[in-house]
A and B are shown apart, each in its own frame.
Chain A
């Protein structure tokens, strides 16, 4: 028992929480408490110290490794491997044409088919991807945004065909369109119709798929594009507020969908800045959801997030030293209280990871989880003057950005985000930050080991993963076969219905998209049916 009544109360409350079956003591046998320092404690509003009371004592973060390449069949084999080895989470990367709503036979797709992920043209590919997998027993994460509605519809169609009801489907679709305009640039339509698609999906999943996370609000790509830590934090949370405003404006109650929103952050190399960022994210989200958006459900206030180490920090020079970078970034993610973590492979500055590099990456976070002892205590850095100051500083910078966006939107963050996209605010800020960083490296004010200092020892012996051109040939033939076998009248009819639904903002797009994919309309056909109504987004180049 401590001499702190609030801590005693917290310990009493968490006494029954399930804990992992490991000794919570140091390597030398010294027992440690589940938490130290002052409240509010983990699991208590505003959740600065963690979203769950006992954090990793109860359950380690999920080691979610993002993968996918080649054909749907290749990835299916890898999925089955994961399931055989006790995994339950499947994470899908799509190739660039799929991410842009293009078919493999489009002129735009040349050289890109199956390169950076799996190629999906029609429902037939999705059927291959999940062949012989019980969709009621897995959780699937799909990293796609612009054409997310079509891909989700294909997933639902596979479930229907295998007799799995909608409400049993569990998983996440990234579907964060705002950051596409700000950073990743994988958009199709202009912002407003794109957000309508997102809100249609939020509404559809709220009604039909209670275990599905319809949006994963992602700062990762904002950071990769060159933003500062505070910009990543602020832009991401502002995007989250914007979705909340859009969905509530569309008539969905905030507590009906907000508990299923999740976040995705970057973990870069400045250790304490990253930890401060993660802690600030939880506090800001909780306060805004409660105070500004009137959330009542505690789960609406929890900023639960996935973390990936910073791909952009990996160097092509002396690639092996990236293992050290990834370890430090992974440690920051764990100390920051992440719910899941992807660790990058050391060779990713050169190409897609080899199997060996991907294994080392996984082993790296396993070392952090099982050897370092950081999982024994929730928010072990809480109470450090520096960490608390950094958390406050991150919050202060983020609030200044929210104020600017609120101003731009005349009292609406949603309108502020639209305005910031249109006037180039986001891309301009990110480009400035990226350039400043590069200049610091170039003039030697910032040392990047192996790049502008300590450059000896690059032996040039680099083993790389190659995706063969056969994937493209296979995929083109597959697509041609499907087009030949399908009923063209059904395709035209269902595509016309998609376009008609697009024209009426009061109609939810999901049912008509589901019909179209079940008729084996291609990803591009469905995307173009909407584009004929919504138009195309062409960004103004801001350097």
Chain B
């Protein structure tokens, strides 16, 4: 740890506070490798709005190279430990990985504790060179719709800033989280023995999106049962799942992230899937699907905002009429919709 001698004169330099820079300047700096600028841009992206759109437009031409990996699983499945080990391996192999770790916010206060930020320093050797990885925690901020907008944008930004792979880690409990992971190039689903995970995953629709299964804590009793359950479910979905279309059957990797075992095999399996995407031409399909998901989410959000605005604005009269039971709710809706669609995009 560089606990530096007090070289800096006191009082500290006058330019306290975050330097104010334009989005263009920040973007150029981030592309040039400045982590602080990238950190700032990610905050803007997270807030959404016009500034976020501007960043998306800036990043778009520079993005498209990174392999995007989604990793999800139930709470306590050891995802963070596994991702930490993967990142360590990737950094060791000279890669420049980025991680977007998504955690739920408190629905009551909007606050969140993001407590499993990956440690890259460990305890071993203070003052080691700063790692090439970039790790960012993102809270869902109480509205899952926001996540559907912010995550693809953050990924695009990482991609444009030269990070590859980009790993998205979510807790696979909600539909949005599943969608986010499902829209990755490679979706990894992490399970553990003794949590009835295979059944839960099936219910959540995770089995359909998974490209790689990891049975973590494989040294625990019951690990082989999880593997057997998964195999069985994959057999059942044999006729309808991706295996029937492309001959690809999601492999099951046994790992023990706590003992740093299996992470290399997990990554090798991700790489195999990456090769499969390229050989089968599925990569393009994946990307199209991802773009479609993102555009749908953006459209839905824009439309919802426009709907709210109309009900409070120039459509208020129609709403009042429906409220007074002068016209039916369906009639009001249809007239408002016609009005909205004719009006064109909101300013």
Contact = CB atoms under 8 A, between A and B. Distances in A.
A42 to B, nearest CB: 45
Contact of B126 (A107, A423, A541): A107
B247 interface: no
Given A107-B3, A422-B258, A423-B76, A543 B113 contact: yes
B118 to A, nearest CB: 10
Interface string B6-31: 00000000000000000000000000
A540 interface: yes
A536 B124 contact: yes
Nearest to B76: A423
Contacts of B76: 423
A26 interface: no
Interface in A396-442: 410, 422-423
Given A107-B1, A422-B258, A540-B80, A410 B221 contact: yes
Contacts of B115: 541-543
B123 A538 contact: yes
Interface in A205-248: none
A519 to B, nearest CB: 24
A276 B80 CA distance: 41
Contact of B123 (A536, A542, A543): A536
A108 B1 contact: yes
A504 B191 CA distance: 33
B279 interface: no
B126 A108 contact: yes
A110 interface: yes
Contact of B3 (A110, A531, A536, A542): A110
Contacts of B122: 536, 538
Interface string A100-132: 000000111011000000000000000000000
Contacts of B116: 540-541
A531 B124 CA distance: 9
Contacts of A106: 126
A541 B117 CA distance: 9
B78 to A, nearest CB: 9
Q: Interface size bucket, B side?
A: 10 to 19
Contacts of A110: 3
Interface string B273-290: 000000000000000000
A397 to B, nearest CB: 25
Nearest to B81: A540
Interface string A74-107: 0000000000000000000000000000000011
Please classify the interface of chain A as helix (H, G, I), strand (E, B), loop, or mixed, using the class held by over half of its residues: loop
B127 interface: yes
Interface in A485-543: 531, 536, 538, 540-543
B338 interface: no
Contact of A107 (B80, B113, B127): B127
Nearest to A108: B126
B47 interface: no
Nearest to B260: A535
B334 interface: no
Contacts of A542: 115
Interface residues of A, number: 15
A540 B117 CA distance: 9
Contacts of A422: 258
A111 B4 CA distance: 12
Contacts of A538: 119, 122-123
Interface string B205-237: 000000000000000010000000000000000
A111 B221 CA distance: 46
B342 interface: no
A5 B115 CA distance: 62
Contacts of A108: 1, 126
Contacts of A107: 1-3, 126-127
Residue of A107, A536, A543 most packed against chain B (CB within 10 A): A107
Contacts of A540: 80-81, 116
A147 B290 CA distance: 53
A543 B117 CA distance: 13
A417 to B, nearest CB: 16
Contacts of A111: 3
Contacts of A531: 124
A542 B80 CA distance: 13
A536 B115 CA distance: 20
Interface in B68-109: 76, 80-81
Contacts of B124: 531, 536
A529 B131 CA distance: 25
Contacts of A543: 113, 115
Nearest to A535: B260
B2 to A, nearest CB: 7
A45 B127 CA distance: 56
A13 B327 CA distance: 98
B333 to A, nearest CB: 45
Contacts of B126: 106-108
A542 B76 CA distance: 11
Nearest to A106: B126
Nearest to B217: A422
A186 to B, nearest CB: 12
A213 B127 CA distance: 39
Nearest to A542: B115
A536 B80 CA distance: 17
Nearest to B220: A419
A106 B127 CA distance: 11
Contacts of B117: 541
A107 B258 CA distance: 27
Contacts of B113: 543
A415 B81 CA distance: 21
Contacts of A536: 122-124
A336 to B, nearest CB: 37
A540 B113 CA distance: 13
B221 to A, nearest CB: 7
Contacts of B119: 538
**9 closest A-B pairs by CB:** A107-B126, A541-B115, A110-B3, A107-B1, A536-B123, A543-B113, A543-B115, A538-B119, A538-B122
Given A107-B2, A540-B81, 15 more contacts: A107-B1, A107-B3, A107-B127, A108-B126, A110-B3, A410-B221, A422-B258, A423-B76, A536-B122, A538-B122, A540-B80, A541-B115, A541-B116, A543-B113, A543-B115
6 contacts: A111-B3, A422-B258, A536-B123, A538-B123, A541-B115, A543-B113
